[in-house]
Amino acid sequence: MNYHKYKRQYFLPPVKCMDWAEKDYVEKAPVWCSVDLRDGNQALVIPMNLQQKIEFFKLLTKIGFKEIEVGFPAASETEYTFIRTLIEEKLIPDDVTIQVLTQAREHIIKKTFEAVKGAKNVIIHVYNSTSLAQREQVFKKSKDEILKIAVKGAQLLKDLTEQAGENYRFEYSPESFTGTEPEYALEVCNAVLDVWKPQSDRKAIINLPVTVQHSMPHVYASQVEYICKNIKYRENVVISLHPHNDRGCGVADAEMGLLAGADRIEGTLFGNGERTGNADIVTIALNMYAQGVCPELDFSEMTEICEKYEGFTGMKINERSPYSGELVFAAFSGSHQDAIAKGMHWQEEKQPEHWTVPYLPIDPSDLGRNYDADVIRINSQSGKGGVGYILETKFGLNLPPKMREAMGYTAKAVSDHRQKELLPEEIFELFKKTFENTSSPLTVEETHFEKSENGVVAEIKSSFNQKPISVKASGNGSLNAVSNALKKAYGFQYEVVTYQEHALEKSSHARAIAYVGIQKPDGALAWGAGVHEDIIHASIDALVAAINNR
Ligand SMILES: CC(=O)SCCNC(=O)CCNC(=O)[C@H](O)C(C)(C)COP(=O)(O)OP(=O)(O)OC[C@H]1O[C@@H](n2cnc3c(N)ncnc32)[C@H](O)[C@@H]1OP(=O)(O)O
Ligand SMILES: CC(C)C(=O)C(=O)O
Ligand SMILES: [Mg+2]
């Protein structure tokens, strides 16, 4: 591959800007602006239709966005009609500002103003490209000429707003900022601001787009910090970021840009957007949330948000997409399941107010996700912790620790053999099939007990490999007496080393489950379980099943 073909296309600020490095997390939510609805930015193969856009807009307001870029009205009839519909049908909540994008060209700006007539809160966003590549190759204009395009556009926005007697807010983007010399981008932005003369009650937005990502995030942070420190009217200017994701660093650019002093983020749900997408607002917001900072957006109904988003856009959320993907809370590997199950118990008992459960950066239930379905999932990588957790939480079975281990290996082997995940019901069936076998080769058909001086005498009718036998033996309890009778009848050699029981249901007719572990002369363990309303019956079934499992 011919890497000589490429060179770095970004420019560092003329002075070192590193204050961002002193901060380690984003301390407060930025102003969020969703750019999910502008077709040019979304680059969907089939752009959304009017109804889908309206529903998407409603979803965005429900999540809590207060600024929403609703389109580029001069770009297409659908975008124009959508904006008109929002306004004419009064679908814009009073506390939501719509934003519209326009090139710095007179007829396009005029069409944009027509589109927003009658709207209460509007941001008119004007842009032109300032990068070296675009100046040389596309516009074929000098720095001064490019600056004049921006200033002319800014002036027209101001004039048309005054003529309309409106109070629209303005945004300017030096498009391709990341390929622009920072001092030149600053000069252009300052020239635009000199036209607008922003006030505290009508701040201007200067948006620094990562139109194409050319550098590591810390370079962008330095560029942003340079603009923040040197822009005129800083107190009346909102510094906004619009990172795309070409190097896979859209979220990192947004976060580091905020550390560098920015106030606002333009991005999209799940990082959709042209080419590799925009900064993913879901991730940025929930990264904050996971560090105890209120993101001021509500993703508590994530499953519904995902379904709607996929329906509107026709895009698919990747299973590994942070916080939202189907698999992002799933733990398959045994040690992780073990740690999560223990962590959740610890959380409940010791620290309900703070979440530190291993492997789960946030509590899945905060996003409406379900522990049973989403977290502990069983395949060949799973172990006793996960299998035990499923049996306990879904089916009320609290296995002795060593039996959990045996069940864990059984489930793992089946999953490995079938090369598929085992669902909770399949695990339960496997448990019953493996540990509740009271029919072959040993069966116990009848038991009678009498109290004796030292305990109990059991008389049993049983058969082993279809050979029936009746035998009597004593023991210190019923199970011990039956066990002694079976040893006497068939010469079995084992010791009962574990016996555990618990109720399965809460009613007065509750069935009980008994677990029996026996140890063979070679030290190996075998396990059985029995379920019955009578606990003695349950324990004998468990013993028989353990013997059958030797
Ligand atoms: C990174 C971004 O997301 S930028 C925004 C992306 N675009 C959108 O979202 C909307 C989609 N765009 C469109 O549909 C079309 O470009 C339209 C409707 C806006 C304009 O269409 P047209 O005028 O027919 O064509 P086109 O955009 O190719 O025009 C190019 C001309 O505009 C000039 N131009 C391009 N951008 C700008 C700008 N921001 N400001 C001023 N002039 C510009 C070009 O230099 C070129 O000039 P020339 O005719 O002298 O060569
Ligand atoms: C119009 C601008 C902000 C844009 O979408 C980009 O540069 O990516
Ligand atoms: Mg963009």
Alpha carbon distances (Å) from 396 to 337, 373, 473: 18, 16, 34
pLDDT tens across 410-429, in order? 999 999 999 999 999 999 99
Residues at the binding site for Mg(2+) are 39, 242, 244, 278
pLDDT in tens, 187-207: 999 999 999 999 999 999 999
pLDDT greater than 80 at residue 354: yes
**What is the mean pLDDT of the segment spanning 246-266?**
98
Residue 158 has pLDDT above 90, yes or no: yes
Domain boundaries defined on the chain: 25-313, 334-435, 442-548
- Ligand 2 pocket: which of 37, 41, 129, 220 to mutate (most atoms within 8 A of CB): 41
Does the pLDDT of residue 267 top 80, yes or no?
yes
Neighbours of 299 (CB within 10 A): 21
pLDDT of residue 109 exceeding 90: yes
Distance 104 CA to ligand 1 centre (A): 9
Ligand 1, atom 50, lies closest to the CA of 139
Q: Is the peptide bond before 441 cis (omega within 30 degrees of 0)?
A: yes
**Residue 170: which H helix or E strand, with range?**
strand 169-175
Ligand 1 lined by 139 (C-beta under 6 Å): yes
Total count of residues recorded for the chain: 550
The whole-angstrom separation of Cα 89 and Cα 111 is 20
Least confidently predicted of 30-39, 63-72, 498-507: 498-507
Phi/psi of residue 294, nearest 5 degrees: -70, 120
ipTM: 0.96
Atom of ligand 1 nearest to the CA of 126: 39
CA torsion through residues 272, 276, 279, 280, sign? positive
Average pLDDT of the chain is 96
Which residue's CA lies nearest to atom 9 of ligand 1? 40
Instruction: State yes or no: pLDDT of 506 exceeds 80.
Output: no
In CATH, the architecture of 25-313 is: Alpha-Beta Barrel (3.20)
Q: What is the pLDDT of residue 499?
A: 98
Number of Cβ within 10 Å of residue 469's Cβ equals 14
Domain topology for 442-548: Double Stranded RNA Binding Domain (3.30.160)
Judge if 25-313 and 442-548 fold alike in CATH terms: no
Condensed to tens digits (0 to 9), the pLDDT of residues 532-548 reads: 999 999 999 999 999 99
Binding site membership of 112 for ligand 1 (Cβ less than 6 Å) = no
Q: Are 544 and 529 in contact (CB under 8 A)?
A: no
CB-based neighbours (< 5 A) of ligand 3, an ion? 41
**Segment 473-499 mean pLDDT:** 97
pLDDT surpassing 90 at residue 385? no
Q: Categorize the per-residue pLDDT at 508 as very low, low, confident or very high, splitting at 50, 70 and 90.
A: low
Mark out the alpha helices in 353-465 (DSSP H runs): 384-395, 401-418, 424-435
Buried b or exposed e, range 68-78, using 16+ CB within 10 angstroms: bbbbbbbbeee
230 Cβ closer than 6 Å to some ligand 1 atom: no
d(CA 141, CA 46): 34
Nearest CA to ligand 1 atom 3: 41
Contact present, 240 and 262 (Cβ < 8 Å) = yes
Of 323, 241, 312, nearest in space to 288 by CA: 323
At residue 372, the pLDDT reads 66
- 386/30: higher pLDDT: 30
Burial of 534 (0-12, 13-18, 19+ CB in 10 A): exposed
Angle at 195 between CA 191 and CA 199, to 5 degrees: 110
What tokens does 386 get?
Answer: 């996960």
Percent of the chain with pLDDT over 90: 90
Strand order of the β-sheet with 495-503 is: 495-503, 512-519, 525-532
Q: What is the pLDDT of residues 424-446, one digit of tens each?
A: 999 999 999 999 999 999 999 99
Q: Give me the pLDDT at residue 22, please.
A: 98
For ligand 2, residues with CB inside 6 Å are 41, 101, 127, 173, 175, 207, 209, 211, 242, 244
- Of residues 95 and 39, more confidence is placed in 95
Q: Is residue 126 predicted with pLDDT exceeding 70?
A: yes
First vs last C-alpha separation in the chain: 61
Q: What percent of the chain has pLDDT over 70?
A: 99
Between residues 332 and 304, the one the model is more confident about: 304
